[in-house]
Homo-oligomer: A and B are copies of this chain.
Amino acid sequence: MTKAITISEVGPRDGLQNTKIFMPTDAKKRWIAALAAAGLREIEVCSFVNPKLIPQFADAAEIAAFAMTLPNIQVVALVPNLKGAERAAETGVHKISLPISASEAHSKSNVRKTVDEQVDELKRIVALRDALPAGRKMEVNGGISTAFGCTLQGEVPQADVLRLVERIAAAGADTISIADTVGYANPKQVREMFVEARRIAGPKLDAAHFHNTRGLGLANCMAALEAGVTALDSSMAGLGGCPYAPGASGNVITEDLVFMLEAMGYSTGVDFDKLIAARRILEEALPGAEFHGHLAKAGLPKGFKEAA
């Protein structure tokens, strides 16, 4: 039986947040529509951050509302705080994700709050979710950032991350994801972390999120899969990076990840030709940006067939 893996395309959020050029709203829409048409099942479409801090997301509400008109995708938005969650809720997105740093130094740099304060913010967001009108469903994800180390703080003890997993679950989040924000993780560390986190959070443990800063992105995805993870974040063309984590660079590359998974017999639902077509839209809309990816360059192996 073919096992399905959910790839959450975070390019429109994690990718664009670190891109200096403003991607025109229409191009964003065409790109997101093309990503959905390529078969990606989940797309993180924007961030409801203060647009004064990241002007790229000045059109967040319009983008989120547009994405909600597309069939067959789970629409996700990042929210840095309760205010962002309120704005996101108005657009009707299926899921919001609140970043909560395992590193105090990154927490202060990224959301200007201590870790404790950000956990309290999560509780307020959970209350917002619970107060939504009957029939209006919006999942809340707690996304643990800098879980494998931090360029500001250095080492981040596994125990700190696991305690945060426990607190996020207790606060009432629907799902928990764990992120290597700055590309420090190695496969051994990843396997151990996800095995332990699953012991604590059970099925609430959701996506693994890796950056390819040191080239280990796909190896870390493999390790997460081996630990039972079935949802992986990645970004088209490997765009990405946290503007408030010095030295953070591109995410795992969606095209390469899809190839690896399909070659191994996992089902991602993604059609390669359509995925490459979506990449062309991105390339045309962001001239001069740095695009990564081996598969877009090398093409599929001769006679390659995608999994059923």
Contact residues of A with B, CB < 8 Å? 149-151, 153-155, 182-184, 186-189, 212-216, 218-219, 221-223, 247, 249, 253, 256, 259-260, 263-265, 293-295, 298-299, 301-303
Which residues of the other chain, B, contact A213 by a CB distance below 8 angstroms? Answer: 294, 298
| Cα separation A223 to B226 with both chains bound (whole Å) | 11
Q: A249-B298, A264-B187 are in contact. Are A303 and B155 (CB under 8 A)?
A: yes
State how many angstroms separate the Cβ of A278 from the closest Cβ of chain B: 18
| Cα separation A215 to B250 with both chains bound (whole Å) | 14
Chain B CB within 10 A, most for which of A149, A155, A214: A214
| Contact (Cβ within 8 A) B154 A302 | yes
| Contact (Cβ within 8 A) B215 A294 | yes
| Contact (Cβ within 8 A) B263 A186 | yes
Chain B CB within 10 A, most for which of A184, A189, A221: A184
| Cα separation A265 to B192 with both chains bound (whole Å) | 13
| Cα separation A183 to B249 with both chains bound (whole Å) | 25
| Contact (Cβ within 8 A) B265 A188 | yes
Nearest B residue to A259 via CB reads B214
| Cα separation A221 to B154 with both chains bound (whole Å) | 27
**22 A-B residue contacts at CB 8 Å?**
A150-B302, A154-B302, A155-B302, A183-B294, A183-B298, A187-B222, A187-B264, A188-B265, A212-B294, A214-B256, A214-B260, A214-B294, A214-B295, A214-B298, A215-B218, A215-B256, A215-B260, A215-B293, A216-B259, A216-B263, A218-B219, A219-B221
Which residues of the other chain, B, contact A264 by a CB distance below 8 angstroms? Answer: 186-189
The contact of A260 among B219, B265, B293, B301, by CB within 8 Å, is: B219
Which residues of the other chain, B, contact A265 by a CB distance below 8 angstroms? Answer: 188
Chain B CB within 10 A, most for which of A182, A299, A301: A301
| Cα separation A247 to B294 with both chains bound (whole Å) | 12
Q: A188-B264, A222-B222 known; 11 other A-B pairs, CB under 8 Å?
A: A153-B302, A155-B302, A183-B298, A184-B301, A188-B265, A212-B294, A215-B253, A215-B293, A215-B294, A216-B259, A247-B299
Nearest B residue to A222 via CB reads B219
State how many angstroms separate the Cβ of A161 from the closest Cβ of chain B: 16
State how many angstroms separate the Cβ of A302 from the closest Cβ of chain B: 4
State how many angstroms separate the Cβ of A130 from the closest Cβ of chain B: 39
State how many angstroms separate the Cβ of A191 from the closest Cβ of chain B: 10
| Cα separation A221 to B223 with both chains bound (whole Å) | 12
Nearest B residue to A248 via CB reads B298
Which residues of the other chain, B, contact A219 by a CB distance below 8 angstroms? Answer: 218-219, 221-222, 260
| Contact (Cβ within 8 A) A302 B256 | no
| Cα separation A23 to B302 with both chains bound (whole Å) | 33
